[in-house]
Amino acid sequence: MRIRKIAISAGVLGLAMVGGAFTASPAQAYTKTCNVDQTVFYSICFDGGNDSFTVNDMRADGERAVIKWYAYDGSGREGECQDANGALNGAVVCDYDFKEGPNNYVAFMGFTRDGASGPKHNASWAYTGYITPR
């Protein structure tokens, strides 16, 4: 009976140690923040795994879908990613190289506009995408 208790205790301890090994390793996940405009004008995403934005124009209204972004990584950079290839012709991916850091992120929003520099229409909320995995 005593040997059985020792064997069970050793087995439980072994499982606890194996479980600890799995939970102690750092997560390799990255952040991906996406939004689809509720009126189905466009979809926007930031992928923190490869520092890219994806914008997809989903309505044939003569306007392009745009992401406006600001980097909060100490660089002061900002920019736009535009889907100007027409509605429902596949998403556009814009790749950037942001500075990694535990508190670094991008703020971005989507909107539509007529031409490369027309006024904003159908603006989304502002979203936060983390550059470094959380």
* Residue given tokens 């499982």 in the structure block: 15
**Is there a contact between 84 and 90 (Cβ–Cβ < 8 Å)?**
no
3-state secondary structure 33-88: EEEECCCCCEEEEEECCCCEEEEEECCCCCCEEEEEEEEECCCCCEEEEEECCCCC
pLDDT for 46-64, tens place per residue? 999 899 999 999 999 999 9
Kindly report the pTM of this predicted structure: 0.75
pLDDT for 71-123, tens place per residue? 999 999 999 999 999 999 999 999 999 998 888 999 999 999 999 999 999 99
101: DSSP letter: -
| Distance from C-alpha of 118 to C-alpha of 31, rounded to nearest angstrom | 31
Characterize the bridge pairing of strands 52-57 and 105-113: unpaired
pLDDT surpassing 80 at residue 40: no
Higher pLDDT, 52 or 6: 52
Confidence tier at 30 by pLDDT (50, 70, 90): low
How many Å is the maximal CA-CA distance in the chain? 82
Helix (H, G, I), strand (E, B) or coil at 118: coil
What is the per-residue pLDDT for 16?
37
